[in-house]
Amino acid sequence: MFSVDLIFEAVLFGILLGCFYAAVSLGLSVAFGLLDVPYVAHPALLILGSYFTYALCQTGIDPIVCGLLLMPVFYLIGIAFYRFYYETFEKRSTDTGVRGLAFFFGMAFIIEVCLILAFGVDQRTVSASYIGSSLEIGDYRLPYRMLVAFVIALSLTFVMTIYFSKTFNGRAIKAVGQDEGALRLMGANPVKIKQLAFGIATAVNALAGAMLIIVGPVEPAMDRIYIGRTFCVVVLAGLGSMSGTLVAGLVLGIAESIVMMTLGPSWAPAVSFGLLLLMLGARPQGLFGR
Amino acid sequence: METILEVNNVIKQFGGFTALSDVNLRVQQGERLGLIGPNGSGKTTLINCISGAFTDYQGSIRFDGTDISKLKAHERTKRGIARSFQIPRPFSSMSVMENLLVPFAFVGGKDGPVQQKEAMDILQGMGLADKAFVQSNQLSQVELRKMELARAMAAKPKLLISDEAMAGLAGTEVDEVLEILFDLNKLGITIIMIEHIMQAVMKFSQRVVCLDAGKIICEGTPETIVKNPEVQRAYLGD
Amino acid sequence: MKYAAYSSLLLLGLLTLSIMSGVNEYFFFAGFVVLQFVVLATAWNILGGYAGYVNFGVPAFIAVGAYTAVVLFKSISAPLLVQIIGGGILAGALGLGVGLLTLKLRGIFFSIATVAVVFILETLVNNWRYVGGATGLQLTRPGDLWFFDSYVRMLFFVMAVLAVFSVTIARYVQDSFLGRGLRAVRDSEEAAECSGVPTLKIKLIACTISGALMGIAGAPMPMYLSYIEPLSTFNLSYSIYALGMPIIGGTSHWIGPVIGALLLATLQQIVTVTVSNELNVLIVGVLLVLFVVIAPEGILGLIKRWKQSSK
């Protein structure tokens, strides 16, 4: 069968991949997991972040820096999105289910098509000093770009977890998903809090998008497969669980890596979606959900 | 009088939080029972267990002689348990009449002209007849509350649970709804009323049960309940 | 009985058109696609419009219909009718399966699960030699044209029959107990359950019917194209069309999806040929978002409002 070495390398790669998937899903974990917004446009915004990073990169700026520079822009986009969603759907609360879903689905398609019209369907990549070479530890080769993404992903997850457990605003965001009334009594404005959360979720997407294009080439249609990966991580973690996102990401990353090694890369898309269906059927509250 | 509803040793937990711990309740046929308790005491959770919105609780619930613990909510409705919701849930795309035709169709099995006449009679009794063909999202608060009760009536229940039907209503509106509940009881329907408006509970109930932190802390006539120190402590704190 | 009269008349008219000479073949090529979208939009609306559960995985059901047809054709040279019935049954079974798995959960989980099904099935088909895998399969049409002059004309009429069939089913569902129950579920699932509506059962029925109809829309495709391959069959763009057409047309009545499909599919034929496929997706996406925000009741709703204001 497969040598222990190969399996070990696959697992190692899977860990790096998994942390990346976790970071990419953080925004969704907040927007959907905590705030209950049917944010199916999240993966499309992720790809948008990648393309904006690509465009900025052409001026010579390092992709990670591009991602960081884009964060405030995406923060504003997130706030605008939530404001719009709130005014149009949540406030009126008639038939929100279908309309909200249709709205975000439509937005996802619009973003994807605009990217195709602007950049074409070909894959885009960025270049940086750490892209292309690998770190060699003994017999194993770990691509530097994966290590860079791994470090960023871990830091991002760490920062988000601290934010949501230690700061007033962060805790308010966690609370608003559970009991708006109580939050109002404490003097906080639920709408402003949700707006903030959405802004943060989308800003994180900018950095995640930069990571995505560092890790590999992107094309406009990638938002479709990332619907599977991000929702898989969020559902696997359980709605409302920030720390669970990392564990869930690792599970997905390792699973995908092993499947790619054993069955081939054409089976990769089925892993996230398959895991997602499995969770929905067997344990919809996820591993750590409320 | 025979017992129409038995709640035996019901325990309901949400993760680590125990909403109901070992609740026992007997309701007699035709009784007017008041259920009171501070916010968060478990009143709505108890109602949800009785109506079948929750089916994963420990203990058993017997209705009209049969164990209904495993039945889904719509099956319990067919057996004769109806409820109104704390925040009204109208079928907002439908007219008032169409709202009533849903239980007629699914509980009674028919929604023809005979049932439409019956629905009009129910609406007449509640003073809603002139709104019969208005879309339900155009109704005022008190009209929505009445429609909730009318819709529950269309299911021809033996037991009606009214969950804070008067919350947020003004003086005369409270009396209107109270009168409706009295009339329904005269038809032989057992009524459990959850309410915060104490005067309404006192006027209406033959017996009152007080819930606090998931436990029944006392039951008795309205007069004895009001004087009970535990009840006072539950509402006002120590 | 007015409906029966009108629909029979329509079918007769379309039949006459298909046998007439002098009509450009291209009309039937394009007409087939337009009618296919009538079926898809109508099918989507039975679950999406009536019950409020949004199916994003339309291509999965189309593909089950198409690939079942291919397997039946390749293995036992099954005639078109058998292919269609087989496709419908299996697609209906898929609807039932997905429903059983997720209709107990909130709406968005159902929607995400439908996307999952698309990718999983596509991956399976990509690796299935018998139906051509990722490269696809060429198919030779059988010689039997019934009494039509060309195979495409025959397929056009078959799709017309399927369109009338699906709309008839949608109309029946809408006006029956089922329709009343679905509307109640859409407006307030909790209140519906407490009013005696067996909500899970009703949702499963709608999901199965919806899936089956999408399957019968997909089944004639392999014969239409003389070819089948996964990339275009599983294209997620089908979803934006199948959900955009009823929402833009109007979801509360069976005529809404028909209006939406006729308008948008015809537009699609024009735009795709003259400009590009992408532009058409953009137009539908923008229209969808516009309608969802400004005119949630669709064109039907706009007509209603216009009628009321001109009184």
- pLDDT tens column, B111-166: 889 999 999 999 998 888 898 899 998 899 889 999 999 999 999 999 999 998 88
CB atoms A94 and B15 under 8 Å: no
For position A215, what pLDDT does the model report?
A: 87
Q: What is the DSSP string of C113-136?
A: HHHHHHHHHHHHHHT-GGGTTTT-
Amino acid in position A78? G
**Three-class secondary structure of residue C137 per DSSP:** strand
Interchain CB contact of A60 with C (< 8 Å): no
Determine phi and psi for A126, rounding to 5 degrees.
-120, 165
> How far apart are the CA of C307 and the nearest CA of chain A, in angstroms?
23
Contact indicator for B194, B161 with CB cutoff of 8 Å: yes
Output the six-digit token pair for C27: 């009309």
A to B CB pairs, distance under 8 Å: 4
Which residues on A lie below 8 Å from B92 (Cβ)? Answer: 94
Which residues on B lie below 8 Å from C250 (Cβ)? Answer: none
CB atoms C293 and A88 under 8 Å: yes
**Three-class secondary structure of residue C183 per DSSP:** helix
A to C CB pairs, distance under 8 Å: 122
In C77-176, which ranges are continuous DSSP H helix? 80-102, 107-126, 151-175
CB atoms A94 and B137 under 8 Å: yes
Are β-strands B3-14 and B17-28 bridged in parallel, bridged antiparallel, or unpaired? antiparallel
> How far apart are the CA of C176 and the nearest CA of chain A, in angstroms?
22
How far apart are alpha carbons C55 and B13 in whole angstroms? 34
Which residues on C lie below 8 Å from B138 (Cβ)? Answer: none
The CA-CA-CA angle for residues A187, A192, A194, to 5°, reads 110
For position A88, what pLDDT does the model report?
A: 83
CB atoms C111 and A101 under 8 Å: yes
The arithmetic mean of pLDDT across residues B174-180, rounded, is: 89
Neighbours of chain C (3+ CB pairs under 8 A): A, B
Residues B148, B149, B151, B157, Cα dihedral to 10°: 140
Which residues on C lie below 8 Å from A109 (Cβ)? Answer: 237, 240, 281-282, 284-285
Which residues on C lie below 8 Å from A32 (Cβ)? Answer: 108
pLDDT band at B99 (very low <50, low <70, confident <90, very high): very high
Nearest to C177 among B103, B105, B155 (CB): B105
Are β-strands B159-163 and B190-194 bridged in parallel, bridged antiparallel, or unpaired? parallel
Contact indicator for B153, B122 with CB cutoff of 8 Å: yes
> How far apart are the CA of C199 and the nearest CA of chain B, in angstroms?
8
Residue ranges of chain B whose CB lies within 8 Å of a chain C CB: 51-53, 72-74, 77-78, 82-83, 85, 89-94, 98, 101-103, 105-107, 111, 151-152, 154-155
How far apart are alpha carbons A38 and C105 in whole angstroms? 14
> How far apart are the CA of A4 and the nearest CA of chain C, in angstroms?
27
Contact indicator for C214, C221 with CB cutoff of 8 Å: no
Output the six-digit token pair for B121: 């009679």
The nearest alpha carbon in chain C to A121 belongs to: C278
For B92-126, b/e burial (b = at least 16 CB within 10 A) is bbbbbbbbbbbbbbbbbeebeeebbebbeebbebb
Residue ranges of chain B whose CB lies within 8 Å of a chain A CB: 15, 92-93, 137
Q: pLDDT truncated to tens, each residue of chain A (290 aa)?
A: 667 878 888 898 899 889 889 988 988 988 888 888 889 999 999 999 999 999 998 888 888 899 999 999 999 999 999 988 888 887 665 555 788 899 999 999 999 999 999 998 888 888 887 777 777 777 777 788 888 888 888 888 888 888 888 888 888 887 777 766 667 777 778 888 888 989 999 999 999 999 999 888 999 999 999 999 999 999 999 887 777 888 999 999 999 999 998 888 888 889 999 999 999 988 888 888 75
For position A249, what pLDDT does the model report?
A: 93
> How far apart are the CA of A290 and the nearest CA of chain B, in angstroms?
8
Task: Please write the tens of the pLDDT for every residue from B180-238.
Answer: 999 999 999 999 999 888 888 889 999 999 988 888 888 888 888 888 887 777 776 65
> Could you tell me the residue ranges of all domains in chain C?
2-236
CB atoms C116 and A276 under 8 Å: yes
CB atoms A38 and C116 under 8 Å: no
Nearest to C194 among B83, B92, B93 (CB): B83
> How far apart are the CA of A256 and the nearest CA of chain C, in angstroms?
14
- Best residue in A98, A233, A279 to probe C by mutation, most C CBs within 10 Å? A98
Q: Sketch out chain A's domains with CATH numbers.
A: 4-282 (1.10.3470)
How far apart are alpha carbons A128 and B184 in whole angstroms? 77
Interchain CB contact of A93 with C (< 8 Å): no
Distances C222 to A79, A95, C218, C227, C233 between C-alpha atoms, Å:
46, 38, 8, 5, 10
CB atoms A290 and B15 under 8 Å: yes
Distances B3 to B57, B62, B117, C37, C186 between C-alpha atoms, Å:
22, 10, 33, 58, 36
How far apart are alpha carbons C200 and C99 in whole angstroms? 9
Residues in chain B: 238
- Best residue in C175, C189, C195 to probe B by mutation, most B CBs within 10 Å? C195
Task: Please write the tens of the pLDDT for every residue from B37-55.
Answer: 888 888 889 999 999 988 8
The CA-CA-CA angle for residues C294, C300, C305, to 5°, reads 70
For B201-222, b/e burial (b = at least 16 CB within 10 A) is bbebbebbbbbbebebbbbeeb
Determine phi and psi for B27, rounding to 5 degrees.
-120, 130
For position A191, what pLDDT does the model report?
A: 83
Rg (CA), chain B: 18
Contact indicator for A157, A23 with CB cutoff of 8 Å: yes
Output the six-digit token pair for C169: 């089913």
- The top-level CATH class assigned to B3-89+161-236 is alpha beta
Interchain CB contact of A91 with B (< 8 Å): no
How far apart are alpha carbons A289 and A236 in whole angstroms? 9
How far apart are alpha carbons C131 and C230 in whole angstroms? 10
Output the six-digit token pair for C222: 């392999």
B to C CB pairs, distance under 8 Å: 78
Which residues on A lie below 8 Å from B137 (Cβ)? Answer: 94
Contact indicator for C152, C23 with CB cutoff of 8 Å: no
How far apart are alpha carbons C241 and A115 in whole angstroms? 19
> How far apart are the CA of C200 and the nearest CA of chain A, in angstroms?
15
User: What ipTM did this prediction achieve?
Assistant: 0.90
Which residues on B lie below 8 Å from A95 (Cβ)? Answer: 93
Amino acid in position C221? M
How far apart are alpha carbons B198 and B209 in whole angstroms? 13
Interchain CB contact of A113 with C (< 8 Å): yes
Neighbours of chain A (3+ CB pairs under 8 A): B, C
The nearest alpha carbon in chain C to B92 belongs to: C187
Interchain CB contact of C304 with B (< 8 Å): no
Task: Specify the residue for token string 């394009």.
Answer: C30
CB atoms B92 and A290 under 8 Å: no
Interchain CB contact of C166 with B (< 8 Å): no
CB atoms B137 and A290 under 8 Å: no
Interchain CB contact of A94 with B (< 8 Å): yes
Residues of chain C with pLDDT under 50: none
The nearest alpha carbon in chain A to C294 belongs to: A88
